[in-house]
């Protein structure tokens, strides 16, 4: 048993009011200066993402003054009108060395990272505001774990996308937990019950490399939202019976308490590098963040190499990094499944504005 375990959050500065457990999340800067001209918006990232299928035609002069309820980052009203018809997607994305680089992490509003088993970490990305402009490829998608479901539940029944999950009897039974929550067949988007063409296996996603089957599952934000829409899981949940109780018919934001945000303060601090391990000796999963004062963001490295998003071919970055410490139990069975504390209070390290 190794404790404490490190759980990382990347993102805009937040005060954890919804969850007080370890997470890893990416956010953008909260600043009204983000509105730019068309010429300033042109970049290789824009060109690459256009190839993924552009959804919204946004006037380059439209103000970015609409705060995302998850990250606090400002977007246009056109984007807000789009996201308000939906609910957040929580997607399980793996981090095995052979699965890298992943697709889509840089566009998540929040990303949780923690060990799945055997010292290998896994991500859960929350996709909402940052993916309204593009149908964003998400890969490789993997299986559910109980603690990720706990964290997802803090966002008022998001759409939870995964490929199966831990199902051995006992406290690590993620599929049993989904059933107990009443999510199965509803906001639970399990590849086992949905399949093709929402989920597909792409053996060529990493060009020039042979990859094992478990590293090939791909979907996209719009494909997942399309399934949810057919189930009537939009921003409003459908009325349904869970046990003896009729629930639903409410907007997911009704009782949602957004995190508190702080305006960007470039070059405010002197912390230029953050590094840590989840488990000692597992260097492939050692995380480093290097502060870039010019963009007031932290650039991510993993295993000593730049952590790149396959969709953009650019290094993943975050405006804030939060490292939360929690209790760890396990391995608890022959599958090496773990448990982590997901509620309560505790210690955290918050890095923002280079401080």
Number of structural domains the chain divides into: 1
Q: How many CA atoms lie within 13 A of 183 on its CB side?
A: 24
CB burial readout 276-298, b (16+ within 10 A) else e: eebbeeeeebbbbbbbeeeebbb
The string of pLDDT tens digits covering residues 182-224 is: 999 999 999 999 999 999 999 999 999 999 999 999 999 999 9
Q: Which domain holds residue 339?
A: 5-352
Q: In 3-state terms, what secondary structure has residue 17?
A: coil
By the 10 Å C-beta count (0-12 exposed, 13-18 middle, 19+ buried), 197 is classed as exposed
Q: What per-residue confidence (pLDDT) applies to 194?
A: 97
Q: What per-residue confidence (pLDDT) applies to 11?
A: 31
Residues of the chain with pLDDT under 70: 1-52, 264, 266-268
Backbone phi and psi for residue 330, each to the nearest 5 degrees, phi listed first: 130, 180
CATH for 210: 3.50.90.10
């Amino acid at each position: 048993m190794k404790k404490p375990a490190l759980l990382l959050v990347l993102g805009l500065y937040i005060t954890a009011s919804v969850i007080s457990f370890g997470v890893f999340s990416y956010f953008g800067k909260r600043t009204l200066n983000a509105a730019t001209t068309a010429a300033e918006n042109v970049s290789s990232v824009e060109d690459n993402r256009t190839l993924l299928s552009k959804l919204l035609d946004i006037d380059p002069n439209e103000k970015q003054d609409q705060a995302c309820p998850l990250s606090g980052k400002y977007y246009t009203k056109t984007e807000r009108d789009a996201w308000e018809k939906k609910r957040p997607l929580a997607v399980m994305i793996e981090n095995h060395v052979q699965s890298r680089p992943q697709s889509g992490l840089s566009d998540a509003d929040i990303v949780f990272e923690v060990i799945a088993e055997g010292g290998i970490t896994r991500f859960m990305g929350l996709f909402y505001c940052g993916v309204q402009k593009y149908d964003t490829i998400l890969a490789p998608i993997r299986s559910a774990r109980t603690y990720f479901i706990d964290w997802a539940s803090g966002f008022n029944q998001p759409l939870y996308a995964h490929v199966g999950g831990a199902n051995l009897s006992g406290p690590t039974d993620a599929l049993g937990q989904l059933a107990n929550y009443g999510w199965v067949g509803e906001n639970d988007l399990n590849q086992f019950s949905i399949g093709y063409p929402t989920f597909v296996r792409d053996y060529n996603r990493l060009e020039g490399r042979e990859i094992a089957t478990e590293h090939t599952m791909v979907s996209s934000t719009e494909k997942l939202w399309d399934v949810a829409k057919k189930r009537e899981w939009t921003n409003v949940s459908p009325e349904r019976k869970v046990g003896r109780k009729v629930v639903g018919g409410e907007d997911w934001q009704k009782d949602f308490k957004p995190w508190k945000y702080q305006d960007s303060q470039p070059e405010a601090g002197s912390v230029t590098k953050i590094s840590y391990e989840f488990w000692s000796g597992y260097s492939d999963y050692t995380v480093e963040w290097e502060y870039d004062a010019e963009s007031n963001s932290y650039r991510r490295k993993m295993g000593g190499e730049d952590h790149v998003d396959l969709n953009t071919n650019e290094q993943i970055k975050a405006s804030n990094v939060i490292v939360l410490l929690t209790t760890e139990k396990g391995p608890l069975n022959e599958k090496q499944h773990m448990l982590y504390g997901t509620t309560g209070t505790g210690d955290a390290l918050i890095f923002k504005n280079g401080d």
